[in-house]
């Protein structure tokens, strides 16, 4: 993972997170409670089995027939920004504008809908600045290679080139327009917003009171029913309903890199993410809903065969290299914190975690389509707390715990899934 962005990091102690979470849960309760008729399902007429899977899902979840919108777009996993705006955004906006009072709170992108959006070509001021960077780099490199230079001159030129590379990297980072289609689609009702980098999610409780450009009314929840093949998507749907009716059974596994540091000092970046995994383990333990909680804080990763009877999981860091440690129970939920673990859900040779977990039997997972930076992952403590409480659906747990939108993250699973619903009737 490329690290965390120091200018945008969240700094907090576990104790502070716990207090904020307690206040959040008092407010949330069952107030959000997504209903089937609040879901719009998007399928691709250009992709084999996409529309059929959409209808299958809608029948299983009693979603009204009129809540299906069929699109015509490439069946590849990447589409252009132009195609996204013309072939996804416009049809969805037209549907929402003509809904005659029907409230749509969640969009489901079905198998066959592109996974990610390629950036447009740089233009205007951005293109001019990039051109200036490249010209200065070429000039310095040419000058450095001309004739003999004193050690001092060579060192100064090399230092300037190094600084220029850092500045260029930072500029490209702040203007990163690669995005997951689902994350961009969260802002389908908002016509004008900056594309470079991420935008703060107004539903995320730890941003409460901060000045952020988005409002809750700007956000439409998005969840994806997708996977390596159509059969996997059907299994995810049926496993989610089965676990909901019977209760998700099994153990919870949490894979940290370091021992719990306690609550005595502020944390940020990698240390904060690791702390959140420890807090999530505590949440699962306190819920009393699992057959045990296993936490590894040695940094070695769970090894093949070490995690039988798996119901919940969160851990890190094995880049694009799934470790077959888990025997996933029906309805299992989990995610791995590493870059690009949802860069593909289809490629047969890829060993990214989202794809491989779905192949191996998990029902719901989260991952980024590119370099996301560690603080953009869902807050593990909030996500697993809400999931275990059993009042909110999967997609609601995700959006309350998600720091940023218009970015790289993808939620794969049934948005209506409530794994512990059985215990909250």
Q: Kindly report, residue by residue over 268-323, the tens digit of the pLDDT.
A: 899 999 999 999 999 999 999 999 999 999 999 999 999 999 999 999 999 999 99
Averaged confidence pLDDT in the chain: 89
Single pTM value for the model:
0.89
The answer on 303 and 365 residing in a single domain is yes
Strands 404-405 and 199-200: antiparallel
Any domain includes 129: yes
The answer on 132 and 27 residing in a single domain is no
Any domain includes 1: no
Check if the beta carbon of residue 109 is closer than 8 Å to that of residue 86. Answer: no
Q: Which residues pair with 195 in a beta bridge?
A: none
Check if the beta carbon of residue 78 is closer than 8 Å to that of residue 117. Answer: yes
The answer on 99 and 11 residing in a single domain is no
Instruction: Tell me if residue 221 falls in helix, strand or coil.
Output: strand
Of the listed ranges 3-7, 35-39, 177-181, the least confidently predicted one is 3-7
Q: Kindly report, residue by residue over 245-277, the tens digit of the pLDDT.
A: 999 999 999 999 999 999 888 898 999 999 999
The helix or strand, by DSSP H or E, that contains position 3, with its residue range, turns out to be none
Q: Which is more confidently placed, 333 or 29?
A: 333
The answer on 276 and 205 residing in a single domain is no
Q: Kindly report, residue by residue over 17-72, the tens digit of the pLDDT.
A: 554 554 455 445 445 689 999 999 999 999 999 999 999 999 999 999 999 999 99
Give the count of domains, the chain.
3
The answer on 233 and 145 residing in a single domain is no
Contacts of 134 (CB under 8 A, 6+ apart): none
Any domain includes 223: no
Q: How far is CA 322 from CA 180, 229, 409, in A?
A: 21, 18, 18
The answer on 293 and 232 residing in a single domain is yes
Any domain includes 71: yes
On the question of pLDDT at 182 being above 90, the answer is: yes
136, with CB counted inside 10 A (0-12, 13-18, 19+), is middle
Any domain includes 363: yes
Cα Rg of the chain, angstroms: 22
pLDDT band at 16, cuts 50/70/90?
very low
Any domain includes 306: yes
On the question of pLDDT at 136 being above 60, the answer is: yes
Any domain includes 232: yes
User: Averaged over 360-386, what is the pLDDT?
Assistant: 97
The answer on 276 and 239 residing in a single domain is yes
Q: Which domain holds residue 186?
A: 36-119+178-218
- Secondary structure E strands in 337-398: 365-368
User: Averaged over 150-162, what is the pLDDT?
Assistant: 78
User: Averaged over 123-129, what is the pLDDT?
Assistant: 71
The answer on 150 and 80 residing in a single domain is no
The answer on 367 and 337 residing in a single domain is yes
Q: What is the pLDDT of residue 80?
A: 96
Any domain includes 402: yes
The answer on 108 and 93 residing in a single domain is yes
The answer on 111 and 93 residing in a single domain is yes
The answer on 131 and 111 residing in a single domain is no
Q: How far apart are CA 262 and CA 141, in angstroms?
A: 49
pLDDT band at 409, cuts 50/70/90?
very high
Q: Which two tokens stand for residue 83?
A: 């195609």
């Amino acid at each position: 993972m490329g690290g965390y962005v120091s200018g945008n990091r969240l700094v907090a102690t576990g104790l502070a997170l716990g207090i904020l979470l307690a206040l959040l849960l008092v407010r949330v309760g069952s107030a959000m409670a997504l209903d089937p008729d609040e879901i719009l399902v998007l399928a691709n007429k250009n992709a084999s089995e996409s529309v059929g899977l959409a209808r299958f899902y809608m029948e299983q979840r009693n979603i009204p027939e009129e809540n299906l919108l069929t699109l015509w777009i490439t069946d590849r996993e990447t589409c252009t920004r132009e195609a996204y705006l013309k072939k996804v955004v416009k049809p969805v906006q037209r549907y929402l504008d003509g809904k005659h009072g029907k409230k749509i709170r969640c969009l489901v992108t079905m198998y066959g809908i592109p996974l990610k959006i390629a950036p447009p070509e740089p233009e205007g001021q951005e293109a001019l600045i990039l051109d200036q960077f490249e010209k200065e780099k070429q000039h310095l490199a040419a000058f450095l290679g001309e004739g003999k230079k004193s050690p001092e001159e060579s060192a100064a030129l090399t230092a300037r080139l190094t600084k220029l590379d850092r500045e260029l990297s930072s500029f490209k980072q702040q203007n990163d327009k690669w995005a997951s289609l689902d994350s961009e689609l969260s802002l389908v009702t908002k016509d004008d917003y900056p594309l470079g980098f991420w935008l703060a999610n107004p539903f995320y409780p730890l941003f409460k009171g901060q000045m952020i450009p988005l409002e809750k009314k700007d956000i439409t929840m998005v969840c994806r029913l997708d996977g390596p093949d159509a059969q996997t998507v059907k299994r995810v749907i049926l496993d989610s309903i089965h676990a909901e009716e019977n209760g998700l059974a099994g153990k919870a596994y949490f894979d940290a890199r370091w021992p719990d540091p306690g609550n005595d000092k502020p944390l940020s970046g990698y240390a904060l993410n690791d702390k959140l995994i420890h807090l999530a383990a505590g949440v699962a333990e306190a819920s009393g809903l699992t057959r045990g909680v296993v936490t590894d804080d040695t940094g070695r990763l769970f090894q093949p065969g070490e995690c039988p009877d798996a119901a919940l999981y969160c851990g890190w860091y094995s880049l694009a290299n799934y470790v077959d440690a888990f025997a996933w129970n029906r309805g299992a939920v989990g995610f791995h914190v590493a870059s690009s673990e949802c860069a593909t859900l289809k490629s047969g040779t890829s060993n990214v975690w989202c794809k491989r977990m779905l192949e191996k039997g998990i029902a719901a997972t989260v991952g980024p389509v590119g370099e996301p930076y560690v603080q953009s992952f869902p807050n593990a403590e909030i996500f697993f707390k809400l999931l275990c409480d059993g009042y909110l659906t999967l997609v609601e747990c995700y959006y309350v715990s998600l720091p940023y939108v218009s970015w790289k993250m993808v939620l794969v699973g049934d948005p209506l899934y409530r794994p512990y619903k059985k215990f909250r009737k």
